[in-house]
Amino acid sequence: MSDEDKFSLEEGTILIRFARDNIEFFLKNNRKIPIPDQIKEKFVDKYGAFVTLNEYNVSGIQLRGCIGYIEPTYSLYDVIHRVSISSAIEDPRFPSVSIEEMDNIVIELSILTPPKLIKVNNPKDYLNKVVIGRDGLIAERGMRRGLLLPQVPIDHDRNWDVETFLSHTCSKAWLDSNAWREESTKIYSFQAILFEEEKPRGEVVRKYLK
């Protein structure tokens, strides 16, 4: 069974609801919800995952927070329990989300496949090996590491090509935007199984990028 087939829409819905309940409970009570036993039993396998919060307002849809773990270090239920709160209050780019804002926020969940090093003989080969709408990217050099999810080149009316995607990923790692052209920079790819609410507290759907 491929990673794409491992999560049903029903399971995605359970996880999104769990993330929202956890965030809203924390914002009201300053503590996380206890993890239900059925979620612990069902989502015990280890995965990297990100929770993204997008706010609907008069200016359109705007990113409000996004935090996650790249590597499959923790059980999926544990990752979502941790990063759903972090996305709401610990993303350094934004002030903490308020409970009132949650009425206008759509939650998106990205469950990641393990990152794989993209092996190339020439950095220009990345342009043919990376597929927009399929791949997320990680740029790494020394202690610096940055990640962009597969949906980033497409969401919020972006229309990035592969070179732009590589450049922004390097910038996310606090590297020069052209660092992907240098042999000392490692580029990894991964894929994501995506679920999101159609509207705040609305029906959960499987999100396809291509």
Domain boundaries, given as residue ranges, for the chain = 3-113+192-207, 116-190
pLDDT at position 177 is 95
User: Do 117 and 129 form a contact (C-beta atoms < 8 A)?
Assistant: no
Dihedrals phi, psi of 63, to nearest 5 degrees:
-60, 135
pLDDT at position 208 is 83
Three-state SS string across 59-84, please? Answer: CEEEEEEEEEECCCCCEHHHHHHHHH
**What is the tens place of the pLDDT at every residue in 139-175?**
999 999 999 999 999 987 788 999 999 999 999 999 9
| CATH number corresponding to 3-113+192-207 | 3.30.700.20
Residues with Cβ within 8 Å of residue 203, at least 6 apart in sequence: 197
- If phi > 0 it is left, if psi is from -120 to 50 it is alpha, else beta; for residue 142 that is left
Q: For residue 9, give the 3-state DSSP assignment.
A: helix
Separation between Cα atoms, residue 24 and residue 1, nearest integer Å: 34
Q: At what angle do helices 9-29 and 76-89 cross, to 10 degrees?
A: 50
Please list the pLDDT of the chain residue by residue as tens digits (210 residues).
455 567 999 999 999 999 999 999 999 999 999 999 999 999 999 999 999 999 987 777 889 999 999 999 999 999 999 999 999 999 999 999 999 999 999 999 999 999 999 999 999 999 999 999 999 999 999 999 999 999 999 987 788 999 999 999 999 999 999 999 999 999 999 999 999 999 999 999 998 876
pLDDT at position 209 is 76
pLDDT at position 174 is 96
CATH superfamily, domain at 116-190: Hypothetical protein ph0010; domain 2 (3.30.1490.150)
pLDDT at position 145 is 94
Dihedrals phi, psi of 201, to nearest 5 degrees:
65, 20
